[in-house]
């Protein structure tokens, strides 16, 4: 789409031009059929997860009183991570055309199998998608234990600032507690004052799942082994799930609270893709295509790899920075960023459009 310098001199014309960037890309992607549902893919995926869960339950029963149960605990955690990815996809309405089918599938997967509230997660995650890395709007950069912004560190005492200077090294060990945190946050949301009727139903499902799971472990195993099984499962689950989300935005530019950005730049400039093959796609649940996922949240997971070259070329054509690194490089960036929040000069993101318009 051509434009002149005169267009850039007028805010309204520039805004319309930048807004049309995403519309043009969306039309191209839709015409290629990349937004169509992939029912067979998800049917096989869900079926394999259910078979794996059945195998784990059988293994726990047959193995009995043995410390080898801890290996099964790790395997269960890995399967539950895949369940979480599927509930994420369903919550984004990637699986079915019907909103109701997607919503109930997400509830069953998250609440009935993983023991987490999809309502709590979706409310939080929607805010993140609407304003990634934007101060005061993105809940993912407003976490109490880890400080992601200089302003958060400035409010802490001497001990808090000392810990913040080393929080990058503590970040991944802290992820061992992420599984517990997700369950606690889910229950706090579902049992808050003013919960809806549907949330009360969801609360009953989540409590039944968590209570039934814990009770079953202590019936089948001695207390020591049951406790170790639970600890290993939650720790591995937290680390694997957290390590899939951590590289996507941490260490990318922060957006001032009042700054307005067009949709394409808002999603691309604050997101980071992770290079890799089929194994990376599986381990990260497609979240390694974070840019494409943010641009097309309802796009089925297997289509993200196919749309990536189109998005990358489109961004290069229009001068929009597209970030992609290896997995280990991304973790190094995250650790370095967290260790230096508030210590190293890091200017907030300056939007080229805003600077051009003098706003």
pLDDT tens-digit readout, 239-288: 999 999 999 999 899 899 888 889 999 999 999 999 999 999 999 999 99
**pLDDT for residue 19:** 60
CA distances from 288 to 91, 208, 228, 239 (A): 18, 33, 31, 16
Q: What CA–CA distance (Å, rounded) separates 120 from 325?
A: 31
Query: Which band of pLDDT confidence, cut at 50, 70 and 90, is reported for residue 15?
Result: low
Residue 278, number of CB atoms within 10 A of its CB: 8
As a whole number, mean pLDDT of residues 188-196 equals 94
- Residue ranges per domain, the chain? 5-357
H/E run at residue 66? none
pLDDT at residue 30 tops 70 = yes
- In total, the chain counts a number of residues equal to 359
Which two tokens mark 312?
């990358």
**pLDDT for residue 343:** 57
Please state whether the predicted TM-score (pTM) of the whole model is above 0.85.
yes
Is 222 exposed, middle or buried, given 0-12, 13-18 or 19+ CB atoms closer than 10 A?
exposed
């Amino acid at each position: 789409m051509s434009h002149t310098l005169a267009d850039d001199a007028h805010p309204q014309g520039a805004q319309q031009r930048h807004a049309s960037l995403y519309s043009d890309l969306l039309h191209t992607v839709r015409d290629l059929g990349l937004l169509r549902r992939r029912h067979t893919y998800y049917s096989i995926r869900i079926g394999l997860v259910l078979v794996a869960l059945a195998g784990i339950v059988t293994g726990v029963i047959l193995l009995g009183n043995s410390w080898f149960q801890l290996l099964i605990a790790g395997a269960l955690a890995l399967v539950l991570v895949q369940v979480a990815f599927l509930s994420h996809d369903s919550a984004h309405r990637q699986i079915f055309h019907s909103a109701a089918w997607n919503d109930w599938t997400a509830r069953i997967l998250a609440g009935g199998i993983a023991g987490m509230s999809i309502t709590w997660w979706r409310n939080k995650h929607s805010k993140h998608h609407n304003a990634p890395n934007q101060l005061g709007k993105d809940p993912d950069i407003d976490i109490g234990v880890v400080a992601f912004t200089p302003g958060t560190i400035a409010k802490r005492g001497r001990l808090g600032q000392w810990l913040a200077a080393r929080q990058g090294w503590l970040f991944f060990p802290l992820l061992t507690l992420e599984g517990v945190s997700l369950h606690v946050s889910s229950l706090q949301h579902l049992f808050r004052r003013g919960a809806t009727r549907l949330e009360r139903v969801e609360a009953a499902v989540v409590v039944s799942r968590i209570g039934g799971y814990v009770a079953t472990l202590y019936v089948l195993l001695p207390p020591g082994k049951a406790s170790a099984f639970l600890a290993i499962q939650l720790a591995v689950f937290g680390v694997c799930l957290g390590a899939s989300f951590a590289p996507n935005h941490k260490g990318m530019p922060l957006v001032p609270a009042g700054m307005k950005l067009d949709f394409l730049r808002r999603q691309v400039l604050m997101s980071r893709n992770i290079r890799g093959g089929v194994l990376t796609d599986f381990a990260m649940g497609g979240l390694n295509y974070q840019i494409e996922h943010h641009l097309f949240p309802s796009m089925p997971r297997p289509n993200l790899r196919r749309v990536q070259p189109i998005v990358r070329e489109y961004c290069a054509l229009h001068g929009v920075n597209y970030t992609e690194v290896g997995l280990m490089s991304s973790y190094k960036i995250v650790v370095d960023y967290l260790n230096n929040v508030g210590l190293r000069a890091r200017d907030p993101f300056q939007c080229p459009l805003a600077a051009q318009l003098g706003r």
